[in-house]
Structure 1
C-alpha cells in the first residue's frame, strides 16, 4: 500500500487522503506544485519520507506547467517551485532532501549542456525529473524493508509487546514503513507479537492510521490513549518501543511527532529499550543537535476540535500546538537505518553509517 503514486496516463500525482481515514478511503488528484504544497501543508499526505516523495513529484508537476517556457525561464520556474514546496513542513528534513536531489539533477543537466554547447529542451529535463522521482519512490521502499530486517533483530523476546507512537508505516513512506517496517518484519517471524499504538493527539495518527494499517494487515494491535503508555510499561505489557522520525540531528537527537519525548522518558524510567527507525535521508548531518531543529507550530484548532467538534470553551482559552518534539539522544537505545543500527555515541556511529 502506497500513500501516493504517479498516474502515467493522466500525468498527475494521486494520493490517499489521510485526513478522512479510517472512515473513508478516497484518493485525490494532485495536478500542480501548488496543489502538492497544499496537500503537504494540510496533511492529506504526511510522514517525513512520504512528503519528501510528494515534493519530488511536485517538482515534476511544476515542470509540466512550464514546458513551453524558454530554458532559462523554465529553470527559474523550477527553482521557485522548489523554494515554495520546501516551506510546506519545516521540520521534516526528507522534504528538503528530496527537493535538493531534484535540484541537483536539474543543475547537472543544465551545466552538462552548457559544457557541451548543446541545446537542452525542457522536455528532456522533465523526463529526467520524473524518472528520478520514481526511482526515489522505489528506493524508499527498499530502504524501509532493510530497516525492517535490521530492526526485527532487536525484538527482545518471543511474543513481545511493542509500543509505537504516531504513524511511521506504509502511509508515512513510499509504501512499507520505518517503525512499522520493523514491526511488519518482526511479525513475519513471530506472529505472537502484540503491538500497542498510542492514539497520538492532537491529529490522532495512531488511532486513524497506525491502527488502521495494522488491523488491515491482520497484525495484533491494541489502541491506547497517549496518557496510558507509562502505565502499560509499569504493568509489563511493553518490552520495546520503536518510533519513526522527521529529522535526526548529527548527535542523534530525534524530532518526531509531539508526545514521543514523553514516551521516551517513560521507557527510560522503566528500563525499556527505545528505538528510532528512519532512513539515512532523515538524518541531517548539518544539524549539530536537537536545539537546531525547527519545530513546526500548527493551528490551535487541532487541539480545540476533534473532527470539527469543539471539546473546550470556544472563548477565553489559548492554544499551544507544536507538531513535534525532540527526544534527546541519551534516551535513545539505537537508531535503526537501512545500513544497520547506530548505537551511542551517535555522532560517531551515524557518521560511520553515512559512509
Structure 2
C-alpha cells in the first residue's frame, strides 16, 4: 500500500470521537511510520506503533498493559477494517509478546522491559522477512526465463531485484492491473532495474501465459487452508496457469498469515475501489469492482515465505505455531 493511500484510509476510517487519547496516539504513530518509510509494510508499521504503546504505558499491572495493547490494536484495525495484513499483524504481535504466563512471575518493570524487547525483536524479524523471501525466491528464477506478475508487490519486487543482483537474465510480463495503476508502477520499477518488461491487458493473461515459464505474485493475506487473498484478478490468473500447467508461486511474509477460512469469494472482507468506466455507460448499469479475490490452495504450487518454501498444506501447521 503506498503511503498516501494508507494515510487517506486512516483519516477516512478512524474517528477520534469513538476512541481515547491513547487510541489517537497509536494511530498517529502508525501513520507517521508509514509516511517516514514508503517501503514499510502496513503490518510492520502497526507492530512498531504497538511497541511504542508498551514503552509509553502508564499501566501498573500486566492485565492493565495487555488491555492497553488490545485497545490500541483495535484502534489500528479501525483505520482500515478490511485490511487483512493489518489485522494479522496486530493479532500476531499480541500473541508473540504476551503468550507466556511466565511474565506474570516477574516484577512488573522486568516484565514490561521483556515485552518491549519482544516487540522490537518481532519488528526486526518482520522487517527482515522481505529479504529472506528474496534470497529464497531468487533461486526459482532461471537464466532466460519469463515470468508473469500481477499488481505491485514490494516483496516480489525485492525478490526480482535479488535475482538481478545475482546476474540472472530474465524477462517479466506485467498485467495492466486496473483500476489503480499498480501494473504501470511495477513495470516502471522493473524497467529501472534493467529487466525487459512487457505489459498486457488484464484480459490478455491466458494469451500471454503460453510464452511464460512461471507466475509469481504477492499476497495481501495467506489464509488457514493455504489459499491466498490478493489483488483482484489473481484467482483468474491462477486458473489459467493451472489449465496451461504453469507453476504458480506466491511470495508472502509470515506476518500476513491470517486466521481466516474463506470458502468462496463472498467470504472476503468487502472492499471496493472506484473505477472509471467512461461516460457512455448508462447510469442504470451497476459497476461491481471489488479490490481483491481469493485463490484456493489447489491452484498454488508453492508459497515462498520467511519461514521457508511451503506447500499450501503446510500453512496450517505454521499458523498453529504462530498463534498458539
Q: Same fold by TM-score, threshold 0.5 exceeded?
A: yes
Moved more, 275-284 or 88-97: 88-97
1:85 equivalent to 2:71? Answer no
Equivalent residues of 2:225, 2:297 under 8 A apart:
yes
Gaps of 5+ in 2: 8-23
Provide the aligned C-alpha RMSD in A: 4.1
Aligned to 2:200: 224
**3-state SS, counterpart of residue 97 of structure 1:** helix
Mapped to 2, the partners of 1:148 and 1:183 lie a distance apart of 7
Aligned to 2:158: 181
Equivalent residues of 1:256, 1:325 under 8 A apart:
yes
**What displacement does 1:265 show?**
1.6
Aligned to 1:164: 149
TM-score scaled by length of structure 1: 0.68
Mapped to 2, the partners of 1:247 and 1:46 lie a distance apart of 20
| CA distance 1:297–1:134, shift in 2 (3 Å) | same
Mapped to 1, the partners of 2:29 and 2:230 lie a distance apart of 22
Aligned to 2:269: 296
| CA distance 1:323–1:299, shift in 2 (3 Å) | closer
1:329 equivalent to 2:314? Answer no
**What displacement does 1:303 show?**
1.5
Q: What is the number of residues matched between the two proteins?
A: 304
**What displacement does 1:132 show?**
4.8
Mapped to 1, the partners of 2:43 and 2:134 lie a distance apart of 20
| CA distance 1:320–1:185, shift in 2 (3 Å) | same
| CA distance 1:350–1:60, shift in 2 (3 Å) | closer
**What displacement does 1:338 show?**
2.6
Equivalent residues of 2:43, 2:85 under 8 A apart:
yes
Mapped to 1, the partners of 2:298 and 2:59 lie a distance apart of 52
Higher helix share: 2
**What displacement does 1:247 show?**
2.0
**What displacement does 1:242 show?**
0.4
Aligned to 2:313: 347
Gaps of 5+ in 1: 4-14, 21-30, 170-176
